[in-house]
Amino acid sequence: MLAFIKKSFEEGHLFIQLFYGPRLKRKELSELFFNWRKSKNRSLKEKNKIIISGVRSQYSELFKNWKWIIIQTILWLAISIKFDFNPIINIMAFFTILNQFIQNITSLAKDKRQTFNIFIAQEILSTLSFSSLLLEKVSDLKKGEKVMKAKNINYASECEWTDINIQLLPNEFNDELPYLRINIGHEKSEVLHASKLGLVQNSDYKTQNELFIILKAFGKYGSFKVEGHGSQKKAIEKSLHDLIENLNLYFGERDIMPIVKNDKTGNWECFVNIEDRTNSWHQLELERYEDIKTMLQEWVPLIEELEKVDLAEQSYKMKGYEW
């Protein structure tokens, strides 16, 4: 009995929170969801807080119904005070207005939750884009330290950028840090560590930096366009220029840069051939897709469709039971 009372009290408290409390702007809700999504444990308690705040912050047209309920209540009170009605009539009027109140507040909660579901679904699906994944991965790897410089050896400086092929080879000890091998025609270099091209953290040679993430993206797409607000684009462009500098240091400068931005399309194009035999970027995309699918199931649960009963089939199954 105590457990039932406690559960009922908690549910009532949650229901009250859906209507009373601070209302957040869309940007604030986006930041709360982003921080939750990037957290390691993804706290269920924090998730529920975001849902309650998000539902409470939505506007519903059903709010307009309150004025009619209030008008009816005032009219009933005024008439019941002025005229001596039968108590049964007053009781019926009271329960009629109470029913309207309950129906409206329930409909409001459902409508606000549906609006929030649409908002959160948009937030989740927006993370599926290439730019979103690239921006997050680059941001995660930026640690405020200087980018490592590549070895200045002018390797194959007489060749064109398009003649150079950089292979990303599996590393059995560290999946995120493939080995490198450079192919020019029939000539192959020895297997190289990523630090040779400045693709690791200055403070930790076993951890890739943001330049390696961009190189992996070129390995999948060859060219890509970065979308986002100003500061996000600048962060990616800074990393792209650092990658260009490292390629120039290792292979030597040429008349054109190894990576350029197409002024017409806005795409960044890499003239160096990147052959990713580890499918690194593809794996990142698969992991993101599975994460999005899980979040959609957890945050935007679908109402299960009621099973439609075939009366003819049920009648046939019950044949003979009337005996």
Cα separation, 137 vs 134, in Å, equals 5
Q: What is the pLDDT of residue 62?
A: 79
| Cα 52 from chain centroid (whole Å) | 19
Domain spans in the chain, listed from the N-terminal domain onward? 2-128, 131-299
Mean pLDDT, the chain, rounded, equals 84
Question: Who contacts 277 (Cβ-Cβ below 8 Å, separation ≥6)?
Answer: 167, 168, 169, 170, 178
The two tokens of residue 126 are 């927006």
Separation between Cα atoms, residue 58 and residue 272, nearest integer Å: 50
pLDDT tens digits, 221-275: 999 998 878 788 888 999 999 999 999 999 999 889 999 999 999 999 999 999 9
In order, the DSSP letters of 250-306 are HH---SS-SEEE-TTT--EEE-SEEEETT-HHHHHHHHHHHHHHHHHHHHSPPPPPP
pLDDT in tens, 35-80: 999 988 999 889 988 998 998 888 888 777 778 888 888 887 888 7
Residue 199 has pLDDT above 60, yes or no: yes
